[in-house]
Amino acid sequence: MTVISKLEFEAAMAGRTCADVMHPWHPHCAPAARMIFASTAIGFNKFMLGLYLLDVLLKLTREKELTKEEIIFIVKSYLRTGVAALWIATTFLASNCIFRRWMPFNYYTTVSVPAFIGGLGISFESKQRIEFILYTWLNMLVETTFNHLEYLQIWRVNAVSGTALFMLANGLVMYEIRRLKLQGRTPTFYWFFSPPSVRNQQDIQNNNSSSTTNNNYNYNNNKGDSVKSPLGPFCPHEGPCIEEIRKSAIKFLGLGYVFGFLKTSVPRLGLIVKKPRLIISYLLNKKTISYGLFAGLYVALYKGLSCFLCQNQKADSAILALPCGTVAGLAFCVLPAPSILAAILANLIFMYGKNSSFARSKLPMSQLSFALVNAILFHNYAFYNNLSPAFFTNMLNVATNDRCHQIYQNLVNLVAQLPKHTHPVLPTI
């Protein structure tokens, strides 16, 4: 089963009750809701406990010991996430049962409306976590869009068009970060590289005062966007340009390589324990090396062009991040992975959304946006299961202790019982 069409769904739902479709594990609504609550309490701990313990271990490597406040914060954060997960799973089922009393099953609303209501449970989380979770969901929404475009044979991420799109998105993200920093705001983004801030005039003045006796400076502040001095330093860094580019490129080459190694080896830890020699093959793996090359080249291109433009124009400005970010995006050729393109596009949507007039509305826009994306991802999980991002599918199945998979499998079985002529001819994945 790849896709469940509207026709198939509506035919399979004829005369069905909520118990037939949504809670096949118990014929009555209230006990079924209690059971999904209990399963989610177990599944959530299975899914999150390891992640939180890893987070605590990483903190301990940096801080030696945790303060009482930090421990309380971690426990509170864990409980808040738990309450949000329980809310999402339980209200999904309960609202489905309630709606069935008034309206029949509908292809567009049966899954998405309860998932939207469930998604509002994100409000239990802290503001910072809501933003991070919203970014993660946007990332999966972009991945889902890629999957659909590929399924419909319209477009797939490739080295040429993927690089062009990545360059454009990267230029815009880098500019947005620098623009916000120049305005004294703290940009929220989830990316490995942050472009250096434009130096403020005071910094340049102090620097020049200490290096020269010539006081005839010519600062030119163009609407707070451009900082110009005929004496320099023009670049947003200390020391010689070549040294700065070389050091940054090597640092990010190393970080990218370590990240690539962890990404390829951690999911296969079990295999490595059995065959330790596999570590060498993961260290020399083409993909592992590509991550290092991508990050090193990306930073070298960004910083190289930034220094060239600053020295050439004898000025720095936030807008320079646009050409620098665009050229740095050429590094995507080395690693044309859909996940990397999805990450930068999700940052672009997230940052523009957060700083738009839409976000300044009195309504809780982050929560509503999350609930909307959650509704789309749930709908996609139910009707285009093979096009659902692997992380989303695994999370739903593990965090509900397999209840979600049970509901999906039940839906598949109901559709499979239909007479053959009901099934439309659909493209295969």
Enumerate binding residues for Zn ion (CB under 5 A): 18, 29, 97, 235, 241, 307
Nearest to 266 by CA among 59, 54, 42: 54
Q: How far is the CB of 18 from Zn ion (least distance, A)?
A: 3
H/E segment holding residue 89 = helix 68-100
Task: Give whichever of 29 and 396 is closer to Zn ion, judged by the CB atom.
Answer: 29
Task: Give whichever of 23 and 179 is closer to Zn ion, judged by the CB atom.
Answer: 23
Task: Give whichever of 89 and 343 is closer to Zn ion, judged by the CB atom.
Answer: 89
Task: Give whichever of 226 and 347 is closer to Zn ion, judged by the CB atom.
Answer: 226
Nearest to 116 by CA among 135, 97, 95, 98: 95
Contact 23, 93 (CB under 8 A): yes
Q: How far is the CB of 132 from Zn ion (least distance, A)?
A: 33
Rounded to whole angstroms, the Cα distance separating 170 from 191 reads: 10
Task: Give whichever of 36 and 341 is closer to Zn ion, judged by the CB atom.
Answer: 36
Q: How far is the CB of 29 from Zn ion (least distance, A)?
A: 3
Determine how many CB atoms are found less than 10 A away from the CB of residue 328. 27
**Exposed (0-12), middle (13-18) or buried (19+): which is 360, by Cβ within 10 Å?**
exposed
Task: Give whichever of 50 and 240 is closer to Zn ion, judged by the CB atom.
Answer: 240
Rounded to whole angstroms, the Cα distance separating 300 from 248 reads: 7
Q: How far is the CB of 279 from Zn ion (least distance, A)?
A: 38
Q: Side-chain half-sphere of 205: how many Cα atoms within 13 Å?
A: 7
Tell me the backbone φ, ψ of residue 228, rounded to 5 degrees.
-125, 140
Task: Give whichever of 140 and 241 is closer to Zn ion, judged by the CB atom.
Answer: 241
Q: How far is the CB of 33 from Zn ion (least distance, A)?
A: 8
Contact 91, 124 (CB under 8 A): no
Q: How far is the CB of 25 from Zn ion (least distance, A)?
A: 11
Nearest to 329 by CA among 176, 172, 189: 172
Rounded to whole angstroms, the Cα distance separating 414 from 399 reads: 24
Q: How far is the CB of 307 from Zn ion (least distance, A)?
A: 3
